[in-house]
Chains A and B, each alone.
Chain A
Amino acid sequence: MRYSKMNLRLRRLGGGLVALLAAMGSQAAAQDPHTPGAPRHFAIRDARIVIAPGRVVERGTIVLRDGLVAAVGPNVAIPQGAWVIDGSGLTVYPGLVDALSTLGIPQALRLPQDGRPQFGPGGPGGGQQGPYSWGPEDRPATFTWLNAADTLDPADERIRRWREAGFTSAVVVAERGFFPGQAAWVNLAGERRNDMVVQTPVALRVNLQGGPGHRGYPNSLMGAIAYVKQLFFDARHYDQAWSIYQSSPAGLQRPEYDRTLEPLRDALRNRRPVLLPGNLAKEVHRALAIADETGATPVIYGLQEAYRVAPVVARRNVPVLVNVDWPAPERDADPEADVPLSTLRFRDRAPTAPAELEKAGARFAFYSGRIDQPQTMLDNVRKAVALGLSKDAALRALTLAPAEIFGVADRLGTLEPGKIANLVVTEGDLFERNSRVRYVFVDGEKFEPAPQVAEGEGSQRGQGRGARGAAADTAQQAQAVAPPVPITVDRGPITSSRVTLIRNATIMTVANGTIQNGSILIRDGKIAAVGQNVTAPADATVIDATGKYVIPGIIDAHSHIATDAVNEGSVNVSAMVGIRDVLDPDDISIYRAAAGGVTTANILHGSANPIGGKNAVIKMRWGADAQGLLFDGAPPGIKFALGENPKRDRDPDRYPATRMGVMDVIRQAFIEAREYQRRWREYEEQNRQRRRGQPPLIPPRRDLKLEALVEVLEGKRLVHAHSYRADEILQLIRLAEEFGFKIATFQHVLEGYKVADEIAAHGAGASTFSDWWAYKVEAYDAIPYNAALMTERGVVVSINSDSGEEMRHLNQEAAKAIKWGGLSETEALKLVTLNPAKQLGIDDRVGSIEVGKDADLVIYSGHPLSVYAVVEKTLIDGQVYFDRQVDLERRKALEEEKKALLEKERSSGERPRVTTDIAGNPREELR
């Protein structure tokens, strides 16, 4: 501290001295301007000055003094004593900002260069495994208290490189863990870390991956999201508890101090930005959902799929940081490997993200991602400019926008007088590739980049960056910015009609028999009339179904499609996690399911633990976002799992390892849930009785896990229990009865036929496979008669798929219950329509063809229980989402689009490199 002050005094003194010498015409001191004693008084005259994006002085002077902008304008007098720089032919810009960076952050706090998450020992960082986390209370990979400003290494060689390219500031933060720490705004010059810091903390970073060394909870994306939410809830509770306690501590138990929550509490109170990851459109939606639920002030980073989501972030006025590390093909990839269209589109469109965001009116800044060469970052921004981003917006995203987003626009981001003198002075337009950085000023100190060094380095690394102006290079660049290839419409409803008539079909209503030569009138997504004499208004869309069969949309009571995570198996109770948080609306399985007649599915957590995560009931509205897939009003559910899967060997050992233990885990969890329920009831009761003027009570901590279990106890959340053996089915029935709740469905329930009476008496449904068996011991007594036998005994039975493939022919699977066990046609159809609807508590909406129900319908070419039946159309909410004819017609266009994209990549001349793909898989190397 003392040293620093002394140094500052020394520097000022020296500065004055050198300025004096300079005024006398000596050039000697200019040799090494950023030594202590460098001048801090400059005037750049006759330059083109971009004061702020869109505010240009074509010929003017800017005066810098003591690290600040002293004056700027066309008619500014050059003060005495200033070092004068002739700015003719030069342009002065506000210094550039990398809005999310690791410059100066020590290696140990960064992710490995390749960005690949490390699992187990062996890899970088893998040697030092952290302790196994058994839940959010263990604060896994959480370093909220780590302030980037306190970890800076001013000697980081990268700082100089970035500065010489014109970057004067960066928002830096550690990278490891779910909460890597707090971000600092730093200037990219200084001898010691304290010299560099402009403001800290400016944000709090969140990752949805634990990074190297993390083990245990959470080990899935949905676990990570649940954890992030829980930590914010904990922080709110912490804030509340301490506020109440501090206002009147007498008589109150002291809340526990928690260093992980202090910075979160601070961030929430000060509405400080929380950096949430969101590269793909679906990830952006997830980030917004996290912010909504937690009350965090979001800044989303990533945004490379902005073309699909820009209007949303603009409407929500959520600032975003765009990763300009544009994705590219892999180097040394298999030339014949099939690159999915979705990946090609992603790569083609990513550089249009800034233009899309500008068009939508969103607030955005740029960051470097894993780019390690500042020239590459600038080239990538230039590419965005070539694709329609205005230069003003580009400059803004590199200067003022980050300053605004991180709350330092009062001192940085423009060249207005009084602001910190961070400048970049170029020959030529910054956004032209042949521009050159002449001077960089940081905190009013002048730096002159040495272009030769950068060039040598560039070519050494195979970048060829130094060879500016080379004809070939320019040609390649020109091709590389060809406009994006138009996207073929391949999702979304095919029709958009309010009133539709399906005419002259064999209608298997499931509820009320079969109608020959019948019609169905659909109005506003609902079935308005069914029968042989249905009249439709003249403007109705008519679907002629002569010779065809219509059945209610198929409902799959057990599926794992359309989700980016299935299991959170790190812990034996993962009731805190939910599929809703990780729905993947881009999963082609949704469309394929619709092509198989499925309109609704119960997307379940896996069977890794006795109590798993929460479900999501969705409709196959291919093209909608995650929110739009949800079956509005479907009762929420949760997965349980009995038998072999939850008791499998794990490393480290995880209780339970026997069926005894499985039941014990469930019982203990509900004892805990009852206690939690009691604590809340007590609190609410006491709070009600609290008199005016009495100090407020500290509420119990909200616990996402126990909250879900209390919902089960209160009958508000359906239990879907994965089970095989008859004994475990019976045990769970008795356990549920002990706690006074009901099992909604036994899933798989392959030995259900042995205890069908008990299942029926409990009132549970049974959702089974048609004929799978023998894949494991507990499936050895599985029989294809199961569905029929349980039906005979009065159980509401459905047949599910548990598979994105099987899901596509559930009509055939239903027919097997006719063959094995002799169900009637209607009973068989019910197995995949009305019965699963009942099991999921949505039979008032779907499951049969009845007036008032959702118009979820399948039109088959022939009898739906025949192996030869083909789905011709699938309607959801009255709109056609699958049409075989349209599907066949689209194929050509999709093939051509793909060909064009591949051709474009091949001819772009861009050096292929390994980078993130659409799935977010990290690239292999840096370049």
Chain B
Amino acid sequence: MRAIGWIITAAFGLLPLAGGLDAQQQGRDLAIRGGRIHTLAGPAIENGTVLIRNGRIAEVGTNVTVPAGIPVIDATGLEVYPGLFDAMTRLGLTEIGQVDVTNDFNELGEFNPHLSAATAIHPASEHIPVARANGITHAVSAPQARPAGIGGQATVINLDGWTIEEMMVEPSVGIVLNWPSLRTGGFGFFGQQQGARTFREARERYERNVRRLEEWLEEARRYDAAVQAGQAVPRDLKLEALAKVTRRELPFLVGADEERDIRNAVEFMEKHNVRMILVGGREAWKVRELLAEKQIPVIAGPTQTLPTGQDEGYDEMYAAPGLLYQAGVKFAFGTFNSSDSRTLPYEAGSAVSFGLPREQALRAITVNGAEILGLGDRLGTIEPGKIANLIVTDGDPLEIRTQVKHVIIAGRDVGTDNRHLELYLKYRARPKPQPKR
């Protein structure tokens, strides 16, 4: 494995450009020494050490003995944080947005609960090293659902690995569902009808969609019961996948933005006894009491977004996370993007001056996402036993000017090399053009 790595590197003439340790030669044992460790599981540890064995955090503290032979990162004067978690992305599922053939997140068909992002994640996507260069160590990568449809299963990956198997944290953390909207559509630029013309029409369509969803769930239950009972039923991948939802093993990742849609979704999921994580939820702040009461977590969209309506405060989306927090709603941030995943910390940071405590902003891009998605025992804090996803920075990771010095994923210092840095160094070295004679 190591040898192969070298060969590839040599063949492309790409030498590691940045980062602490030679990524190709490392094992998964590592120590980070001398930094201030923000474990997010207790107070920060000054001048502490994190010992990583076999990709997991082994010990954290001020009195950690680092066994001989284990590579050490000197973090003196630096800050150590849990790796950042982008809780909703298309990483690995798209390369160039406007080039359809590079997109693998939007399958045909309205009900595809059996499809999984993991099947199509491209480990060599250039977006991955770009994201992790700014401290994103793991992410949810999810397919897109069609309107009122089911898109497939979301996968949690580490942003490092030769194959999806090496990147894999959890193949399925939920099934993406777009909640049927009640919105009456307008007319597009070319006069094409974008939705129902009248509210009556919209309501009829909505009710049809909800009934259809109910039927799917009912079918999944029956299928599951039959299988459990040992009946010889032909295998149905879709129902098999949905049965994980009806058995409450997996949540629905429910895409809904408008207040009414969110309320309807909450009511529906409760009625059908399935778990729900609200995804996007631009107007979630208007339903925050309900979400808190029903303990429905939110994967919130970017804060650097325009308000939901002309009359909303200019700072609506900056202020929304603070309101969710105050109401007791648990939420994590996602960029809902791939190429922009690296801006995750600024989405969180932008909410801080509008009511979200800084500590909570940080948690919303580290611990919360892990806990919401059932990975709290494996990710999110710097505690023994957890996957060693950490970053070493020269300051507050939410601040734009902070430099990420080391990115450690599953115990390896993967460095901050990426396409952008390569292009930068290459063209920075371009000699001044000589005027033609």
Contacts and interface: CB of A to CB of B under 8 A. Distances in A.
| A pairs with B | yes
Interface in B401-437: 401-403, 419-421, 423-424, 427-428, 430, 432-433
Nearest to B200: A332
Contacts of B95: 774
Nearest to B346: A867
B354 interface: yes
26 contacts: A118-B191, A334-B183, A336-B260, A340-B311, A341-B311, A591-B314, A757-B430, A757-B432, A771-B340, A771-B342, A772-B340, A774-B95, A781-B423, A783-B420, A785-B423, A785-B424, A789-B424, A809-B350, A819-B400, A861-B353, A867-B349, A867-B350, A868-B352, A870-B353, A887-B314, A921-B186
Nearest to B339: A774
A340 B307 CA distance: 13
A337 interface: yes
Interface in A756-807: 757-758, 771-777, 779-781, 783-785, 789, 792, 804-806
- Chain B: interface residue count, which band? 35 or more
Given A753-B427, A815-B400, A777 B199 contact: no
A894 interface: yes
Contact of B310 (A588, A772, A808, A867): A588
Sorted nearest first, the 5 A-B pairs with minimum C-beta distance are: A867-B349, A774-B339, A776-B98, A785-B424, A783-B420
B12 interface: no
A425 to B, nearest CB: 43
A460 interface: no
Contacts of A411: none
A341 B310 contact: yes
A388 interface: no
B433 A338 contact: no
B314 A333 contact: no
A847 B418 CA distance: 35
A868 B354 CA distance: 9
A726 to B, nearest CB: 9
Secondary structure call for the A interface: loop
Nearest to A219: B189
Nearest to B202: A334
- Chain A: interface residue count, which band? 35 or more
Interface string B347-358: 001101110000
A789 B309 CA distance: 39
A117 interface: yes
Given A777-B99, A867-B349, A818 B401 contact: yes
B199 A334 contact: yes
Contacts of A774: 95-97, 126-127, 338-339
B197 interface: yes
Given A591-B314, A775-B98, A776-B98, A866 B399 contact: yes
Which of B199, B352, B398, B427 has the largest number of chain A CB atoms within 10 A?
B427
Nearest to A589: B306
Contacts of A821: 424
Contacts of A772: 339-340
Given A116-B191, A753-B427, A773-B420, 6 more contacts: A592-B307, A783-B419, A809-B304, A819-B400, A861-B353, A887-B314
Nearest to A333: B199
Interface in B60-103: 95-99
A338 B199 contact: no
A584 B258 CA distance: 28
Nearest to A334: B199
A815 B401 contact: yes
B97 A775 contact: yes
B147 interface: no
A868 B349 contact: yes
Contacts of A775: 96-98, 339
B337 to A, nearest CB: 10
B313 A117 contact: no
A31 to B, nearest CB: 48
A757 B99 CA distance: 31
A332 to B, nearest CB: 4
B420 A784 contact: yes
B401 A771 contact: no
B343 interface: yes
A772 B304 CA distance: 14
A681 to B, nearest CB: 33
Given A591-B314, A777-B96, A867-B346, A334 B433 contact: no
B399 A867 contact: yes
B366 to A, nearest CB: 16
A774 B432 CA distance: 28
B273 interface: no
Contacts of B419: 783
Nearest to B94: A774
B96 A780 contact: yes
A19 to B, nearest CB: 57
Nearest to A814: B400
A340 B310 contact: yes
